[in-house]
């Protein structure tokens, strides 16, 4: 068991990649704190974990943009169960649009969740992790952390920020025994991806075109991203910090 006796905190764990990461970490013995704004989704993730008779889980409703609430939940969890791993996964996309057409409200929404949410999560977890002298943070970036994606300017800005912010955290927290890494997924088959395709003129054709652009000729599965998150969270990655692990079926290298 790679996370035996560890407590793993996952944001946005009521769906997609966050749910897969919560389940995968629990399957390796972790007690998982499943958080999300979506109560039904979060409770469903906990039920999956309980049904699988895995490490154990509880749901806490949390909006990652609320820094005070984040601090409160993390302190509470740390007191009850300890805290070993923070996975800042919650994130949102936006419809494909030229930069100059993106409404200020959309820009602010994307930055609020994708950047401030990760900032809040690290700010809440770091005092606990540094004080105890060990721990791992895994932030979820994107291919948009390393590539400038057309018609995804606000998303690219937010995810580029996540990657470089995580490097800064790694440099700051390393002397305290705390690691921080980013997973950068390519297009992964989740409700977020579904929403992206649904916004296109011909969703089925858009999906087919996207799949064809990947050397492996398919989108990623949330479980494949969860495996990378688990790796970076576990002691197998004990000398890896400040790294951006691209998991993209070869898209960025072809
Ligand atoms: P998803 O839409 O399936 O799940 C995201 C979850 O985050 C949802 O349960 C949602 O309720 C929650 N959430 C949204 N705003 C929140 C907030 N303010 N506070 C707390 N929870 C909130 O999306 P998916 O695909 O699982 O994405 C997860 C992460 O992976 C995101 O950061 C996304 O940007 C990133 N990603 C996804 C890719 C994809 O193709 N699906 C590709 C690259 C990165």
Q: Could you tell me what percent of the chain has a pLDDT over 70?
A: 100
- Does the beta carbon of 191 lie inside 6 Å of ligand 1? yes
Given a cut of 90, is residue 55 above it in pLDDT? no
**Residue 85 three-state SS:** strand
What number of helices (H) and strands (E) belong to the chain?
A: 9, 7
**Hey, what's the torsion of the CAs at 160, 225, 26, 37, to 10 degrees?**
50
The residue ranges of DSSP E strands in 122-212, in sequence order, are 135-140, 178-185
Nearest atom, ligand 1, residue 225 CA? 30
**Mutational pocket test of ligand 1: of 14, 18, 225, the residue with most ligand atoms within 8 Å of the beta carbon:** 18
Given a cut of 90, is residue 54 above it in pLDDT? no
DSSP-assigned letters across all residues of 96-145: -B-GGGS-HHHHHHHHIIIIIHHHHHHHHHHHHHHHHT-EEEEEE--GGG
Predicted pLDDT at 236: 98
Looking at residues 71-82, what average pLDDT do you find? 98
Q: Could you tell me what percent of the chain has a pLDDT over 90?
A: 95
Nearest CA to ligand 1 atom 19: 63
- Does the beta carbon of 111 lie inside 6 Å of ligand 1? no
Q: What is the CA radius of gyration of the chain?
A: 17
140-190: per-residue pLDDT in tens?
999 999 999 999 999 999 999 999 999 999 999 999 999 999 999 999 999
- Does the beta carbon of 120 lie inside 6 Å of ligand 1? no
Predicted pLDDT at 213: 96
184-217: per-residue pLDDT in tens?
999 999 999 999 899 889 999 999 999 999 999 9
Q: 88 C-alpha vs ligand 1 centroid, how far in Å?
A: 10
- Does the beta carbon of 188 lie inside 6 Å of ligand 1? yes
Sign for the CA dihedral angle at 232, 233, 236, 241 comes to positive
Sign for the CA dihedral angle at 85, 71, 159, 172 comes to negative
Let me know: does 93 contact 41? Beta carbons within 8 Å: no
pLDDT averaged over every residue in the chain: 97
Pairing type for strands 85-88 and 7-10 reads parallel
The DSSP output letter for 221 is P
Please give the C-alpha separations between residue 76 and each of 31, 64, 70, 145, 171, in angstroms, as whole numbers: 14, 16, 10, 32, 27
- Structure tokens belonging to residue 148: 């400038």
- Structure tokens belonging to residue 25: 């970490």
Given a cut of 90, is residue 89 above it in pLDDT? yes
How much of the chain is in helix, strand and coil states, percent to nearest 5? 55, 15, 30
222-231: per-residue pLDDT in tens?
999 999 999 9
- Structure tokens belonging to residue 77: 């969890």
């Amino acid at each position: 068991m790679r996370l035996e006796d560890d407590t793993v905190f996952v944001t946005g764990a009521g769906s997609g990649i966050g749910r897969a990461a919560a389940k995968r970490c629990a399957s390796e013995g972790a007690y998982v704190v499943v958080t999300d704004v979506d109560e039904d989704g979060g409770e469903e993730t906990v039920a999956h974990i309980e049904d699988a008779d895995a490490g154990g889980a509880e749901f806490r409703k949390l909006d990652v943009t609320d820094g005070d609430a984040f601090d409160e939940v993390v302190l509470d969890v740390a007191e009850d169960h300890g805290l070993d791993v923070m996975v800042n996964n919650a994130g949102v996309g936006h419809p494909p649009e030229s930069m100059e057409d993106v409404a200020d409200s959309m820009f602010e929404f994307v930055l609020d969740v994708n950047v401030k949410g990760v900032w809040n999560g690290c700010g809440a977890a770091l005092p606990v992790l540094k004080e105890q002298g060990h721990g791992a943070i895994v932030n979820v970036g994107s291919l948009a952390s390393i590539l400038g994606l057309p018609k995804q300017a606000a998303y690219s800005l937010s995810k580029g920020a996540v990657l470089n912010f995580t490097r800064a955290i790694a440099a700051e927290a390393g002397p305290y025994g705390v690691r921080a890494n980013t997973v950068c997924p390519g297009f992964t088959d989740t409700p977020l991806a579904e929403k992206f395709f649904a916004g296109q003129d011909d969703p089925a054709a858009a999906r087919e075109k996207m799949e064809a652009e990947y050397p492996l000729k398919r989108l990623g599965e949330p479980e494949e991203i969860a495996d990378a998150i688990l790796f970076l969270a576990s002691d197998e990655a004990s000398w890896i910090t400040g790294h951006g692990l691209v998991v993209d079926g070869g898209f960025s290298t072809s």
